[in-house]
Amino acid sequence: MKKAITILLFLSLAISCEKDDICSTSNAETSHLKIKFFDQLDQETLKSVTGLSIIGIDNSFRYGLEETRDSIMIPLRILQNNTSYSLIKDYTIDDNGTPEDSADDFATGNEDIITITYENEEIFISKACGFKNVFNDVNFGFTPDADNWILSTTVITNKIETEDDAHVHIFH
Amino acid sequence: MRTYIFFISLFFLSFATFAQEEKVKDSSKTHQFGLRVGTDISKLVKSAVIEDYTAFEINADYKFSKKFFLAGEFGNENRTINETQVNYTTKGSYFKIGVDYNAYENWLDMKNAIFVGLRYGVSSYKNTLNSHSIFNGNTYWEESIVITDPISYNNSTTHLIEFIVGLKAEIFNNLYLGVNVQLKNYVGNENPDNFENLYIPGFGKTTDDSNWGVGFGYTISYFIPFYKK
């Protein structure tokens, strides 16, 4: 009887330990929109955008200021059905001839506005990871202006769920 | 907490067993057959101590031969758990039925038991997601997204297989204290649409990597004798 009590005591102690769940599932996070840039004339060839600056419309912060990129990953607004970004090519700060005085500096470059529309869907991943958002029925476009550097676009997939492949190709 | 409860019950149990081991062994003994009905004290204590948890379990066994008991449990649990990403409530009932085998050789007319048993169980319950967050590593647009609209899911049913090992000691006339540990596995578990059964009444928390779970119980029960043989 005493031996049995001892065994049960150890078993009971073992049960007291509880495993922590850590989110380790791949692709558990809500995906970014992945855009690749191609040559308009040779549409199989990647073509980098020089001096690319990325700013979310209605966002007071700049998302990224990159030297030269042939692909970008940008986050989409989860609680809304659309997200717009300003993509500025050849972004530079013109110091207006006065390098010491930054007050009269102004930005130059060719700005194009892209807009992505979609439907949100929450998908349960696991207890530790919770839910992720998947973007369905994705549409992609850019606002025409007098001097677009973006010439055409192709939506590769209308469901943004993982970040393995580009979702949109931009030709320029 | 669990360990603490265990030591208290261990204290009582050891008194009961030491007292009885002083008795003289005799080969001629009678068996009393009858129904033992009780409850799981640990569930009552946990209900009182743990916030957002209420549970109750009735257990019973019927001695139908010298070594074997027909045994079963019926209970309900209502538990709210707050994980980092999800806060959910599971509410439901379960029953388990099976057989216990008493491996303990009693002296005289003692009725103690060191038993091993097997159970089949069914748990029927309902999940409600009280709040959840959307896993978004990028905070450029939103810091973090927490949805507080509750979501109710359809009823879930889970079938369980359970191995149980424990002991029961008679502390007073026909009154028993018992302790047991359970190793359980769920089979035939159907998850609701776009959610998982994270807690199963009668089983406990589920994990991502296996269908196995462990549990323990501290029982107090009363034996109603039917006849002697």
Instruction: Look at residue B27 in the predicted model and tell me its pLDDT.
Output: 47
Higher-confidence residue: A7 or B79?
A: B79
Contacts of B116 in chain A (CB under 8 A): none
- Sorting pLDDT into bands at 50, 70 and 90, what band is A3? low
The answer to whether B134 contacts A32, with C-beta atoms less than 8 Å apart, is no
The answer to whether B196 contacts A126, with C-beta atoms less than 8 Å apart, is yes
Residue from A20, A127, A160 whose CB has the most chain B CBs within 10 Å, to mutate: A127
Size of interface A-B (CB pairs under 8 A): 122
Q: What is the residue-level pLDDT of chain B in tens, covering all 229 positions?
A: 444 444 445 545 544 444 444 444 444 567 788 999 999 999 999 999 998 999 999 999 998 888 899 999 999 999 999 988 899 999 999 999 999 999 888 776 677 889 999 999 999 999 999 999 998 888 899 878 899 999 999 999 999 999 999 999 999 889 999 999 999 999 888 899 999 999 999 999 998 778 999 999 999 999 998 888 7
The answer to whether B132 contacts A14, with C-beta atoms less than 8 Å apart, is no
Instruction: Look at residue B113 in the predicted model and tell me its pLDDT.
Output: 87
Scanning B39-68 for CB atoms below 8 A from A yields none
Residue B186 tokens read as 């769920």
Instruction: Look at residue B28 in the predicted model and tell me its pLDDT.
Output: 54
* Lowest-confidence segment of A13-17, A70-74, B224-228 by average pLDDT: A13-17
| A109-143 b/e (C-beta count within 10 Å ≥ 16 → b) | bbbbbbebbbebebebbbbbbbbbbbbeebebebe
- Over range A69-88, report the average pLDDT: 92
- How far apart are alpha carbons A144 and A141 in whole angstroms? 9
- Over range A3-26, report the average pLDDT: 65
Contact A166, A138 (CB under 8 A): no
Instruction: Look at residue B20 in the predicted model and tell me its pLDDT.
Output: 47
Instruction: Look at residue A73 in the predicted model and tell me its pLDDT.
Output: 93
CA distances A76 to A86, A118, A119, A127, B165, Å, are: 13, 10, 11, 24, 54
Higher-confidence residue: A17 or A161?
A: A161
- Does this model's pTM top 0.95? My answer is no
Instruction: Look at residue A93 in the predicted model and tell me its pLDDT.
Output: 82
Query: For B197, which residue in chain A has the nearest alpha carbon?
Result: A127
The answer to whether A127 contacts B181, with C-beta atoms less than 8 Å apart, is no
Instruction: Look at residue A128 in the predicted model and tell me its pLDDT.
Output: 87
Contacts of B165 in chain A (CB under 8 A): 8, 11
| pLDDT exceeds cutoff 90 at A95 | no
- How far apart are alpha carbons A62 and A93 in whole angstroms? 14
The answer to whether B137 contacts A29, with C-beta atoms less than 8 Å apart, is yes
DSSP label at residue A21: P
* Lowest-confidence segment of A6-10, A137-141, B148-152 by average pLDDT: A6-10
Instruction: Look at residue B23 in the predicted model and tell me its pLDDT.
Output: 44
Contacts of B166 in chain A (CB under 8 A): 8
Higher-confidence residue: B208 or A135?
A: A135
Asked if B135 has any chain A CB less than 8 Å from its own CB, the reply is yes
Contacts of A8 in chain B (CB under 8 A): 165-167, 179-181
Strands (E), chain B: 32-40, 53-63, 68-82, 86-102, 113-134, 145-147, 151-172, 175-187, 199-200, 204-205, 212-228
Domains, chain B:
2-13+42-228 (2.40.160)
Instruction: Look at residue B1 in the predicted model and tell me its pLDDT.
Output: 45
* Distance of residue B53 Cα from the nearest chain A Cα, in angstroms: 17
Instruction: Look at residue A15 in the predicted model and tell me its pLDDT.
Output: 55
Residue A142 neighbours by CB under 8 Å, 6+ apart: A112, A113, A114, A115, A148, A150, A153
ipTM of this predicted structure:
0.75
Residue B182 tokens read as 């359970």
Burial zone of B209 (CB within 10 Å; 0-12 exposed, 13-18 middle, 19+ buried): exposed
Residue from B21, B112, B138 whose CB has the most chain A CBs within 10 Å, to mutate: B138
The answer to whether A15 contacts B214, with C-beta atoms less than 8 Å apart, is yes
- How far apart are alpha carbons B113 and B101 in whole angstroms? 9
- Sorting pLDDT into bands at 50, 70 and 90, what band is A103? confident
Residue from A3, A6, A7, A11 whose CB has the most chain B CBs within 10 Å, to mutate: A11
Instruction: Look at residue B4 in the predicted model and tell me its pLDDT.
Output: 47
Per-residue pLDDT of A32-63, as tens digits, reads: 999 999 999 998 999 999 999 999 999 888 88
* Distance of residue A10 Cα from the nearest chain B Cα, in angstroms: 10
- CA-CA-CA-CA torsion for A71, A77, A80, A82, nearest 10 degrees? -20
Residue from B12, B140, B183 whose CB has the most chain A CBs within 10 Å, to mutate: B140
- The residue assigned the tokens 């791949």 is A26
The answer to whether B181 contacts A11, with C-beta atoms less than 8 Å apart, is yes
